[in-house]
Structure 1
Amino acid sequence: MENNSRRRHDIDALRVIAFGLLILYHLGMAYVAEWGWHVKSSHQSETLQLIMLAVNQWRMPLLFLISGAATYFLFGKLGSAGFLLHRLRQLLIPLLFGMLVIVPPQAYYEALSNGVIEPGYLSFLWRYFSFQPWPADSFAGSHIGFTWNHLWYLPYLLCYTVAIVPVAHYLRNRQPLMKRWVSGIKSWHLLLLPLLPLTLYGLFLFPRFGGINYSVVGDWYTHAQFFTFFLIGYLLVSSRPPWQLLSRLRIFLLFGASLCFCLFLLFDRVLEDGSFPGQSFINLIIIYANRWLWLLAVLACGYHYLNRPFSWLPYATEAVYPWYILHQTITVAAIYELGSLSLGLVAEPIFVLAITIAGCLIIHELLIRRVPLLRLLLGLKPLVSKGAQDQDPVPQGT
């Protein structure tokens, strides 16, 4: 097994980039035409759909894969019990705090946007925390009475955290066998083998359970897919040879991923259903090949170009988790409040993005990272000396 004391800077950097991409994606959801979201701007763009499609097939699988990689380091350092306690603190506390404090403004602005309530946040909270169902389509989760909105990633990750413990314990007791297997991965193993379970999920689970329902319960297609990526991340990061192989294949992977995306657009936007025999099955394979090749291309480029101790990385590695928790609430509020100013399709999203970044930066820098209680509530480690922090090989947050 690869030495747990050797920090993988590329995993840290990819995690920062993945969450940064998530912030931009959520901003885009307010402006992309024909796609629903919590609060939509009056300025819509059909062209934006192509940009969104280019990343939405693999952005969340990348986050779960990176989380699986981080889990490998955590489990190796802390053991079963310590790992579970650490993850419960890191995931459950921010989830509960987020649902009680961070997320409710999103539901408020969504209900305002839908014309369900009158302005008045305190009145909204009084009803919101009665935990009673709201009128249909008041806001995401209104049929239940409350929501976790963009924090849905945390309960899903919490499930996989619990599920990985017996697997990780089993593999830790068979380290030489695991090392030989992972180190012996060939190009065709990386390119083709993961497509088999993904295609089977698409053939048998998706027709029955559909896409993600964001509620954890009964979401078996999503669980099968995301836990597979989570497990792949756990396995891949345990040995260096697969990453060296990916680095050598990076140009091929970028070309193959781009070709798959063009085929994806061909089937999604151009060809009519039933144009030729087997079209639906071929389309299914293209969807998962596009998803997997982009993941491999991102991992390959990350390992080749980002596996070094950038000066900005320690700060960004800590900041990215609270930024993830905070960003969507700031974005939703900014979109709603700026909507009456008629800023236009270019100026408005620029202002919204600037407000989101400034809000996350100020709240994190002046409050969260300096107040021990807020560090706990937002999933950060307790304050330690700089030297001890620099030696810690475990990625922060998720």
Structure 2
Amino acid sequence: MERRHDIDALRVIAFAFLILYHIGMLYVHEWGWHIKSAYLSEALQLPMLFMNRWRMDLIFLISGIAAAFLLKPGQTGRFLALRSWRLLLPLTFGILVVVPVQPYVQGVTNGVVEPGFFAFLAEYYSARRWPENAFDGWQHGYTWNHLWYLAYLWMYTLGLAVLLPLLRSRWGQRLAEGFAGLRGAALLLLPALPLLFYTVTLQERFPENGDFIHDWYRNAVYFTVFLYGFVIARSNAFWSEALRLRRIALVLALVLFGVYSFVRHGIPDEIPYWHELLIVTLRNFYVWAMLLAILGWAHALLNRPFAWLPRANEAVYPWYMLHQSLIVLIAYWLVPLKLGGVFECLLVTLGTVAGCHLLHEYLIRRVSWLRPLFGLKPRGPAREVPTLRMAAYGVVPFAALVIFIISQT
């Protein structure tokens, strides 16, 4: 099948927006984060809210589409091994090497951790129990912070493999064809109903906390959109309809977001159930309309072999792994200097982009043993790696880390 340049480009853009979103978290008023600037803005709340509601749904939707293209007939085992290598090995390396600067900065900022990064690392690697609220994930000794996506995606990949016999059955194929074959209003509205159902039944009972085992609301939402991506990936009928509906979907999404923002603005702590139900209904229909609009416009505008795309597509994984640690570290250096909000934000942004570019371009992609630690394929001609060895590269280091953490708690 011809390579889908629009999906490659959309993946690059989605992760670029993720980096901008995390820079925004440094400055948005009343939204907690690992470190906050002295220059906070209430005006940022609305654009941040606009993106917040669908940013991770889009990334998991794209991941589901990618899984459909990576999964070859009769190669489920090799697909799982490849995913384990490409997800768990970078996750383990990231937890141990890339992420620790984030809990250090947060702990020092909170006044719980003594300054001195290497002294902190010595304690961090012992998986000790930290004082309450020292940093996000203090209860477990270690934290994966923004790399939670890799762990969740690996689990959803396993879930997909378990469901494959069902998806490939006659009933499963009929259901998938029915979903991919939705038209008009049905496509604009029906896929949002499961998301609304999860919100009503699960969100209050399972608040978002980054703990996969107890994160049933987010798991339900993200695994569902992951499956949506898997089902629609190869459906020409779906992409034709998404292309046709892209203008309507965008207008609908903007209207829904406007009404949603108005309805939830300034609400008291206690509101009637009908008001709460209206808010979550508007939110979930907005999310799906926006996802559909993004897919349709991407298919219309991005499905071409841009010269920049191969290099940018390779850079996504390293930039994703590096960006939040760079944002937090640069902010830790700059915030005490009180340089002014605009200048500080500009320096944080430029520093993050420059750091990601320089580390990826001149170190990660050029050093053979670093490439797989940042999710990149080996350099040179492709060579066949035995399936079990490939799986072991990812599963064994991560399993060892988990066992060590559990043994210390």
TM-score normalised according to structure 2 size: 0.89
C-alpha separation in 2, matches of 1:281 and 1:333: 40
Equivalent residue for 1:57?
53
Check conservation: 2:176, 2:231, Cα contact below 8 A: no
C-alpha separation in 2, matches of 1:154 and 1:369: 20
C-alpha separation in 1, matches of 2:3 and 2:129: 47
Q: Does 1:197 align with 2:159?
A: no
Q: Does 1:209 align with 2:185?
A: no
TM alignment of 1:160-171, pairs within 5 A: 160-171=156-167
Distance 1:277 1:385, change over 3 A: closer
Distance 1:271 1:365, change over 3 A: same
Give the Å deviation of 1:76.
2.4
C-alpha separation in 2, matches of 1:52 and 1:385: 43
Equivalent residue for 2:378?
382
Of 24, 29, 42, which residue of structure 2 is paired with 1:28?
24
Q: What is the letter of the counterpart of residue 102 of structure 2?
A: Q
Check conservation: 2:180, 2:231, Cα contact below 8 A: no
Check conservation: 1:43, 1:344, Cα contact below 8 A: yes
Check conservation: 1:179, 1:239, Cα contact below 8 A: no
Give the Å deviation of 1:316.
0.7
Q: What is the letter of the counterpart of residue 251 of structure 2?
A: F
Equivalent residue for 2:42?
46
Q: Secondary structure at the match of 1:154?
A: helix
Q: Does 1:343 align with 2:339?
A: yes
Q: Secondary structure at the match of 1:118?
A: coil
Of 352, 363, 383, which residue of structure 2 is paired with 1:367?
363
Alignment gaps of 5+ in structure 2: 383-409
Equivalent residue for 1:265?
261
C-alpha separation in 2, matches of 1:129 and 1:348: 32
C-alpha separation in 2, matches of 1:49 and 1:172: 44
Check conservation: 1:250, 1:301, Cα contact below 8 A: yes
C-alpha separation in 1, matches of 2:212 and 2:369: 29
Distance 1:11 1:169, change over 3 A: farther
Percent identical: 46
C-alpha separation in 2, matches of 1:145 and 1:183: 44
Alignment gaps of 5+ in structure 1: 387-398
Deviations 1:57-116 (A, max 9, x none): 000000000000000011126720010000000100000000000000111111111122
Distance 1:115 1:176, change over 3 A: closer
Q: Secondary structure at the match of 2:305?
A: coil
Count how many residue pairs are aligned between Structure 1 and Structure 2: 381
Q: Secondary structure at the match of 1:367?
A: helix
Equivalent residue for 1:333?
329
Q: What is the letter of the counterpart of residue 214 of structure 1?
A: G
Q: Does 1:286 align with 2:282?
A: yes
Equivalent residue for 2:11?
15
Give the Å deviation of 1:343.
1.2
C-alpha separation in 2, matches of 1:277 and 1:229: 27
Deviations 1:36-55 (A, max 9, x none): 00011111111011110010
Give the Å deviation of 1:117.
2.5
Spell out structure 1 runs of 4+ moving beyond 4 A: 172-180, 270-277
Further displaced range: 212-221 or 349-358: 212-221
Deviations 1:257-315 (A, max 9, x none): 11011011111115567887822222221010111111111111111100111111100
Check conservation: 1:182, 1:239, Cα contact below 8 A: no
Give the Å deviation of 1:218.
1.3
Distance 1:206 1:183, change over 3 A: closer
Check conservation: 1:10, 1:306, Cα contact below 8 A: yes
Q: Does 1:187 align with 2:184?
A: yes
Give the Å deviation of 1:21.
0.5
C-alpha separation in 1, matches of 2:6 and 2:262: 33
C-alpha separation in 1, matches of 2:97 and 2:334: 22
Q: What is the letter of the counterpart of residue 243 of structure 1?
A: W
Q: What is the letter of the counterpart of residue 381 of structure 1?
A: K
Equivalent residue for 1:393?
none
Q: What is the letter of the counterpart of residue 293 of structure 1?
A: A
Of 84, 102, 108, which residue of structure 2 is paired with 1:88?
84
Equivalent residue for 1:395?
none
Further displaced range: 285-294 or 117-126: 117-126
Q: Does 1:74 align with 2:70?
A: yes
Distance 1:110 1:275, change over 3 A: closer
Check conservation: 2:167, 2:173, Cα contact below 8 A: no
Distance 1:277 1:349, change over 3 A: closer
C-alpha separation in 1, matches of 2:129 and 2:69: 42
Over aligned residue pairs, what C-alpha RMSD do you find? 1.9
Q: What is the letter of the counterpart of residue 292 of structure 1?
A: W
C-alpha separation in 2, matches of 1:172 and 1:183: 15
Check conservation: 1:38, 1:106, Cα contact below 8 A: yes
Q: Secondary structure at the match of 1:370?
A: coil
Check conservation: 2:129, 2:141, Cα contact below 8 A: yes
Deviations 1:135-173 (A, max 9, x none): 111111112211111001111111101000132344346
C-alpha separation in 2, matches of 1:382 and 1:185: 41
Deviations 1:108-140 (A, max 9, x none): 111111122232111111111110111111111
Q: What is the letter of the counterpart of residue 268 of structure 1?
A: R
C-alpha separation in 1, matches of 2:283 and 2:195: 10
Distance 1:146 1:276, change over 3 A: closer
